[in-house]
């Protein structure tokens, strides 16, 4: 009798486990209808689908198949424009963190594999979800990777590891930013993320590096107060979000010795959004220099009580004199080039389509 009770208890326990996990497994693996399956057949495509409610428990289920011949990356967004709702998400039966309506920002899906999502509704009353998937080999779209790939085909770029600078006499490094024409100085590894450094193609109106109230280096200068104040605030919001806040090398420098100049720049840093051309930006280009102007252009770094300027090479100048200036900035690493060939008539166009989890 005792053995029969034990056997019955074990049998019930086994049945319970099968029902618990088996039904979940069945829900995920067997009950995703074709109507709720999204087949990724081509990269660089946008896929949209309405997914209907699956059962009385307010659970939505859909599957993403990679039917291409390469591993893909995708971004997944879930919205329902007519209702506000709260929800949890399971990916392949595991709960995942979500960021607003963006479920996965940069998900890798290997050839022939699939991802299965379950959306558990917490609050709200909806009968379908709008699913948007941006599918691409998206690492190839990030600006650094596009430029690096193109550099193989041209002699416009000099490389140091994966950092590079445009060093031809007149390279095709034009880029549209803030609906204005800018140029790419190069791409640089900052904290393991590559970022394009860009500068406005033509000088802005004159201002002074310092006035009698602000007399310091760039971090405590009049031009910095302006560039990271009213100038930054007037940028288009779509472009403002593309700017990466970084440490700028603003140490006092001398132009008498190339290597001393580069090393001295690094002795002081300042974290901000907008800067100016550095002496190193100019000096690294050597004789094949495309940064040429007929007027004196102020640079980021001071030389003791003077400032460095471009004036047929680099010279020093009174820091209180009104001079032309050229804003510079670093783009976020997840900024993508979506069109253009870098020529002045067809500059690169930008967007953040596949955002990374980064600063």
Per residue, what are the HEC states of 138-178? HHHCEHHHHHHHHHCCCCCEEEECCEEEECCCCCCCEEEEC
Spell out the per-residue pLDDT of the chain, length 359, in tens. Answer: 444 444 444 434 433 433 333 333 334 444 677 778 889 888 767 788 887 766 556 788 889 999 988 888 787 878 765 567 778 888 998 888 775 566 766 688 888 999 998 888 887 777 777 888 877 665 567 888 888 777 666 677 777 777 889 988 889 999 999 999 999 999 999 988 889 999 999 999 899 999 988 889 999 999 999 999 999 999 999 999 999 999 999 999 877 676 777 889 999 999 999 999 999 999 888 766 899 888 999 999 999 899 999 988 889 999 999 999 999 999 998 898 888 889 999 999 998 876 765 54
What is the structure's pLDDT at 13? 43
Show me where the domains of the chain are located.
1-30, 32-138, 141-351
Q: What pLDDT is stored for residue 86 in this prediction?
A: 79
Q: What is the pTM of this model?
A: 0.66
Q: How far apart are CA 318 and CA 305, in angstroms?
A: 8
Query: Does the 32-138 domain belong in CATH 2.60.120.1090?
Result: yes
| Residue 277 CB partners (closer than 8 Å, separation 6+) | 185, 199, 291, 297, 299, 300, 310, 326, 328
* Distance of alpha carbon 156 from alpha carbon 153, whole angstroms: 9
Distance CA 122, CA 125 (A): 10
What pLDDT score does 327 carry?
A: 98
How high is the pLDDT of residue 99?
59
In degrees, to the nearest 5, what angle opens at C-alpha 171 toward C-alphas 166 and 176? 90
Residue with tokens 């329902």: 80
Structure tokens at 242: 């593309």
Of residues 248, 282, 277, 290, the one with CA closest to residue 265 = 248
Whole-angstrom distance, CA of residue 169 vs CA of residue 135: 38
How confident is the model at residue 349, as a pLDDT? Answer: 92
């Amino acid at each position: 009798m005792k053995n029969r009770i034990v056997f019955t208890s074990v049998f019930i326990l086994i049945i319970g486990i099968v029902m618990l996990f088996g039904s979940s497994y069945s829900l995920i693996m067997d009950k995703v209808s074709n109507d709720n399956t999204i087949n990724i057949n081509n990269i660089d495509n946008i896929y949209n689908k309405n997914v209907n409610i699956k059962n009385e428990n307010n659970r939505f289920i859909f599957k993403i198949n990679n039917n291409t011949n390469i591993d893909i990356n995708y971004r997944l967004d879930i919205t329902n424009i007519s209702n506000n709702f709260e929800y949890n998400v399971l990916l392949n039966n595991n709960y995942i963190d979500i960021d607003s309506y963006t479920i996965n920002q940069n998900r890798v899906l290997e050839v022939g594999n699939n991802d299965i999502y379950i959306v558990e509704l917490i609050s709200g009353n909806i009968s379908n979800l709008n699913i948007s998937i941006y599918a691409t080999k998206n690492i190839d779209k990030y600006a650094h990777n596009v430029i690096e790939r193109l550099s193989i085909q041209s002699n416009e770029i000099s490389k140091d590891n994966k950092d590079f600078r445009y060093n031809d006499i007149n390279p095709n490094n034009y880029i549209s930013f803030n609906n204005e024409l800018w140029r790419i100085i190069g791409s640089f590894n900052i904290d393991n993320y590559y970022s394009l450094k860009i500068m406005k193609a033509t000088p802005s109106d004159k201002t002074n590096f310092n006035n009698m109230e602000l007399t310091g280096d760039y971090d405590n200068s009049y031009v910095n107060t302006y560039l990271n104040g009213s100038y930054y605030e007037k940028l288009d919001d779509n472009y403002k979000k593309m700017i990466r806040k970084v440490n700028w090398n603003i140490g006092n420098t001398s132009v008498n010795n190339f290597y001393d100049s580069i090393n001295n720049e690094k002795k002081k840093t300042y974290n901000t959004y907008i800067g100016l051309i550095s002496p190193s930006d100019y000096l690294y280009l050597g004789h094949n220099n495309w940064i040429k102007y007929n007027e004196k252009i102020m640079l980021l770094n001071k030389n003791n009580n003077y400032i460095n300027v471009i004036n047929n090479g680099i010279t020093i100048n009174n820091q209180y004199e009104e001079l032309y200036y050229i804003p510079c900035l670093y783009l976020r690493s997840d900024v993508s080039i979506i069109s253009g060939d870098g020529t002045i008539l067809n500059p690169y166009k930008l967007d953040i389509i596949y955002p990374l989890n980064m600063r």
